């Protein structure tokens, strides 16, 4: 098979070469500067390559060489705290040698091959092992990094295994005569195998009330956050990265503006992880592929992030993967498709857009890994529809795949209601599967309270149409109370301040207490009406103001208990 050829044609990031006879998705080096590219189409003797770097100045006749390997990532100790570009080049390492802008044709390994790690074996010579089984562990910050048998080994006997300090390239074990190091290489477009996939029946607890109570995402599930510019997609994803109960966070900044990625890069190291007390960055991997980076690398970045997430899932960890934003990824596919002169689909996107989105989201799962432990990947994909138009192809194709839809609303942003998740258009399809978990782990009446709150908000939406036509004074007293209770659900429960030190995270048990108190107010208000109490007296009870402030207090749980007692007392004074 020929590995040397020449450039025949250049069209932006798409280069056509002849004479190399590659396989699909082989990585090739293009031009005199050896720019990294990937074969995406083969037509006769012509190989069409998408180049992950700027192709300015490249001309026909320059050499092309085939590596014979697909685009792969290095997996091993050192991944956590790393900041990579879309093809796993470590940006801090590159910055040390060339400053703030990356030169063309440069590369660096994804892991530090000089650093030594303390390896502690958990199997011994003579043991039989299978693919994915844990051979030993390395302490990497607050996380225990498990060194596993590579998936390529079906079954084997441990000839020898060592304990001590090693680099990722040094041999730590020998299985059936094959040397095993602490680093694995895995092609990014190939899903890593699992032993068994589970039904998604455990929620990803995020600390955001509107998500956990109203529209929960199951561990191993996929969610979409579409919204127009400025509605808070990035802030919501950052809150999920900070406070969700996933052990590992993989954050992919796919085609985002540089200032947004800068915020993530500067904020995450400063944030204290509520679980470990150390920096949040110590359990995070960042893929930074900003909008001024080459468009082809953007297309690869989501696969790079997903493969790293699968590696940690294979250790038995729960991983939260944030893709911000899949619209930029789709735009990269559209640009490359047009360079290939393919038949365009809707709005110029390639006809295979839905297939590519499916391939990506379907790698999210909760499963028993080959090592025998349970792990999961939960994918939260932000979508940036132009002008907030949710009928555009990326949003629509995403909604056909994911089972949770968190719709961000510009009208809520204008009303300063954050997070701007619209409770009337958002939905979750995991609610029925999660009922048993909520009953066992939170409270028996949790699903009932959720259903009551949703019904109240829907009633409010219907009544608002009447109010706009005839005014609220013409409504009967029962409906006036319904409007007030719905207002409490919106303002006390659904609104949450991502930047407040107390309100930024709300435990699931506290969410149940808060919703229970709103239901209690509703029931007591109904009794007061039945006893002939005027609506104004019910609406302007002082306890409502105290309830509204309780979520910002340092001793919130004690304050909520006091609110409950105040509520009983003040309604008793009304004769209820």
Which H or E element spans position 399?
Answer: helix 393-401
Instruction: Read off the pLDDT of each residue in 435-457 and give the average, rounded to a whole number.
Output: 97
* Residue 102 is assigned to a structural domain of this protein: no
pLDDT at 74: 96
Instruction: Read off the pLDDT of each residue in 262-268 and give the average, rounded to a whole number.
Output: 78
* Residue 300 is assigned to a structural domain of this protein: yes
The distance between the two most distant Cα atoms of the chain, rounded to a whole number of Å, is 92
Task: Examine the domain organization and report whether 65 and 81 are in the same domain.
Answer: no
* Radius of gyration of the chain, Cα coordinates, nearest whole angstrom: 27
- 564: domain CATH number is 1.10.1140.10
pLDDT at 522: 97
How would you classify the pairing of strands 318-324 and 374-383? parallel
Instruction: Read off the pLDDT of each residue in 291-312 and give the average, rounded to a whole number.
Output: 89
Instruction: Read off the pLDDT of each residue in 439-461 and give the average, rounded to a whole number.
Output: 96
* Residue 438 is assigned to a structural domain of this protein: no
Q: Which of 232-236, 408-412, 448-452 has the lowest mean pLDDT?
A: 232-236
pLDDT greater than 90 at residue 478 = yes
* Residue 103 is assigned to a structural domain of this protein: no
Task: Examine the domain organization and report whether 481 and 554 are in the same domain.
Answer: yes
pLDDT greater than 60 at residue 1 = no
Give CA–CA dist 111/486, Å, rounded.
Answer: 52
Task: Examine the domain organization and report whether 138 and 123 are in the same domain.
Answer: yes
Going by pLDDT thresholds of 50, 70 and 90, the confidence category of residue 2 is low
What the block records as the tokens of 264 is 């993530």
- 140: domain CATH number is 2.40.50.100
* Residue 439 is assigned to a structural domain of this protein: no
Give CA–CA dist 466/490, Å, rounded.
Answer: 19
* Residue 564 is assigned to a structural domain of this protein: yes
Give CA–CA dist 200/121, Å, rounded.
Answer: 33
Task: Examine the domain organization and report whether 488 and 383 are in the same domain.
Answer: no
Task: Examine the domain organization and report whether 169 and 227 are in the same domain.
Answer: no
Task: Find residue 218's DSSP bridge partners.
Answer: 203
Task: Examine the domain organization and report whether 80 and 63 are in the same domain.
Answer: no
Give CA–CA dist 110/90, Å, rounded.
Answer: 6
Report cis status (omega within 30 of 0) of the bond before 298.
Answer: no
User: Which of 430, 458, 489 is at the close of a domain?
Assistant: 430
Non-local (6+) Cβ contacts of 262 within 8 A are none
Task: Examine the domain organization and report whether 276 and 306 are in the same domain.
Answer: yes
Task: Examine the domain organization and report whether 177 and 203 are in the same domain.
Answer: no
Q: Which of 70, 65, 62, 64 is nearest to 38 (CA)?
A: 70
Q: Which of 327, 321, 339 is nearest to 255 (CA)?
A: 327
pLDDT at 385: 87
Top pLDDT among 473 and 514 is at 514
Residue in the block written with tokens 């208000």? 525
* Residue 108 is assigned to a structural domain of this protein: no
CA distances from 57 to 29, 53, 302, 479 (A): 15, 12, 28, 70
Calculate the average pLDDT of the chain.
Answer: 91
Instruction: Read off the pLDDT of each residue in 471-491 and give the average, rounded to a whole number.
Output: 92
Rounded to 5°, angle at Cα 558 from 497 and 500: 15
**Taking the alpha carbons of 269, 272, 277, 281 in that order, is the dihedral positive or negative?**
negative
pLDDT greater than 90 at residue 102 = no
To the nearest whole percent, how much of the chain has pLDDT over 90? 73
Going by pLDDT thresholds of 50, 70 and 90, the confidence category of residue 96 is confident
Task: Examine the domain organization and report whether 367 and 232 are in the same domain.
Answer: yes
- 55: domain CATH number is 2.40.30.20
Q: For 167-188, what is each residue's pLDDT tens digit?
A: 999 999 999 999 999 999 999 9
User: Which of 404, 430, 456 is at the close of a domain?
Assistant: 430
- What is the number of structural domains in the chain? 4
pLDDT greater than 90 at residue 199 = yes
Instruction: Read off the pLDDT of each residue in 21-38 and give the average, rounded to a whole number.
Output: 93
Which H or E element spans position 356?
Answer: helix 353-361
Task: Examine the domain organization and report whether 224 and 294 are in the same domain.
Answer: yes
Task: Examine the domain organization and report whether 471 and 526 are in the same domain.
Answer: yes
Instruction: Read off the pLDDT of each residue in 189-199 and give the average, rounded to a whole number.
Output: 94
> Nearest 5°: phi and psi at 109?
-65, 150
Task: Examine the domain organization and report whether 525 and 411 are in the same domain.
Answer: no
- 347: domain CATH number is 3.40.50.300
Q: Which domain holds residue 32?
A: 4-69
Can you tell me whether residue 113 is helix, strand or coil?
coil
* Residue 63 is assigned to a structural domain of this protein: yes
Most confident of 149-158, 338-347, 488-497: 488-497
Each residue of 370-389: b (16+ CB within 10 Å) or e? Answer: bbebbbbbbbbbbbbbeebe
Give CA–CA dist 241/433, Å, rounded.
Answer: 24
User: Which of 154, 182, 210 is at the close of a domain?
Assistant: 182
Task: Find residue 6's DSSP bridge partners.
Answer: 18, 63
Alpha helices by DSSP H, 188-257: 209, 233-243
Give CA–CA dist 330/357, Å, rounded.
Answer: 9
Q: Are 239 and 208 in contact (CB under 8 A)?
A: yes
Give CA–CA dist 216/191, Å, rounded.
Answer: 26
Q: For 385-432, what is each residue's pLDDT tens digit?
A: 887 788 899 999 999 999 999 999 989 999 999 999 999 999 999 999
Q: Which of 126, 176, 130, 124 is nearest to 152 (CA)?
A: 130
């Amino acid at each position: 098979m020929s590995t040397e050829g020449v450039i025949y044609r250049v069209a932006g990031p798409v280069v056509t070469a002849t004479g190399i006879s590659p396989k699909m998705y082989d990585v090739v080096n293009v031009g005199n500067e050896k720019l990294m590219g990937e074969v995406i189409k083969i037509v006769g003797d012509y190989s069409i390559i998408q180049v992950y770097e700027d192709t300015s100045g490249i001309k026909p006749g320059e050499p092309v060489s085939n590596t014979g390997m697909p685009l792969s990532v290095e997996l091993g100790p050192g991944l956590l705290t790393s900041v990579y570009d879309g093809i796993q080049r470590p940006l801090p390492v590159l910055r040390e040698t060339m400053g703030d802008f990356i030169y063309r044709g440069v590369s660096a390994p994804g892991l530090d091959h000089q650093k030594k790690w303390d390896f502690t074996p958990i199997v011994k010579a003579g043991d039989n092992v299978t693919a994915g089984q844990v051979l030993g562990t390395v302490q990497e910050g607050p996380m225990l990094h498990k060194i596993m048998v590579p998936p390529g080994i079906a079954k084997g006997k441990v000839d020898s295994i060592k304990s001590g300090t090693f680099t990722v390239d040094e041999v730590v074990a020998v299985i059936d005569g094959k040397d095993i190091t602490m680093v694995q290489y895995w092609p990014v477009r190939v899903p890593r195998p699992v032993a068994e996939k589970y039904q998604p029946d455990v929620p990803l607890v995020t600390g955001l009330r509107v998500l956990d109570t109203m529209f929960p995402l199951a561990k191993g599930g996929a969610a979409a956050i579409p919204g127009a510019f400025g509605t808070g997609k990035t802030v919501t994803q950052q809150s999920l990265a900070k406070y969700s109960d996933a052990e590992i966070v993989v954050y992919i900044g796919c085609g985002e503006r540089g200032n947004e990625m800068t915020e993530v890069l500067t904020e995450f190291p400063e944030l204290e992880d509520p679980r470990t007390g150390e920096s949040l960055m110590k359990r995070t991997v960042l893929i930074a592929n900003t909008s001024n980076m080459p468009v082809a690398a953007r297309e690869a970045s989501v696969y790079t992030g997903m493969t790293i997430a699968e590696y940690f899932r294979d250790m038995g960890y729960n991983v939260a993967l944030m893709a911000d934003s899949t619209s930029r990824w789709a735009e990269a596919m559209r640009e490359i498709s047009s360079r290939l002169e393919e038949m365009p689909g809707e709005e110029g996107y390639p006809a295979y857009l839905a297939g590519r989105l499916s391939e990506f989201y379907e790698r999210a799962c909760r499963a028993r890994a080959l090592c025998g432990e349970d792990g999961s990947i939960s994918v939260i994909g932000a979508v940036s529809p132009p002008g907030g138009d949710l009928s555009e192809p990326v949003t629509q194709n995403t909604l056909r795949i994911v089972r949770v839809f968190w719709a961000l609303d510009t009208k809520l942003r204008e009303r300063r209601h954050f997070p701007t998740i619209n409770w009337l258009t958002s939905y979750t399809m995991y609610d029925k599967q999660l009922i048993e978990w909520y009953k066992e782990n939170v409270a028996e009446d949790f699903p009932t309270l959720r259903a009551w709150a949703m019904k109240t908000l829907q009633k409010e939406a219907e009544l608002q149409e009447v109010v706009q036509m005839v005014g609220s004074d013409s409504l009967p007293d029962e409906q006036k109370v319904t409007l007030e209770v719905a207002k409490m659900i919106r303002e006390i429960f659904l609104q949450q301040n991502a930047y407040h030190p107390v309100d930024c995270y709300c435990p699931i048990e506290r969410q149940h207490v808060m919703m229970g108190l709103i239901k209690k107010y509703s029931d007591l208000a109904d009794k007061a009406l039945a006893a002939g109490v005027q609506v104004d007296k019910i609406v302007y009870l002082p306890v409502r103001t105290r309830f509204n402030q309780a979520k910002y207090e340092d001793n919130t749980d004690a304050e909520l208990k006091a609110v409950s007692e105040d509520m009983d007392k003040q309604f008793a004074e009304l004769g209820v």
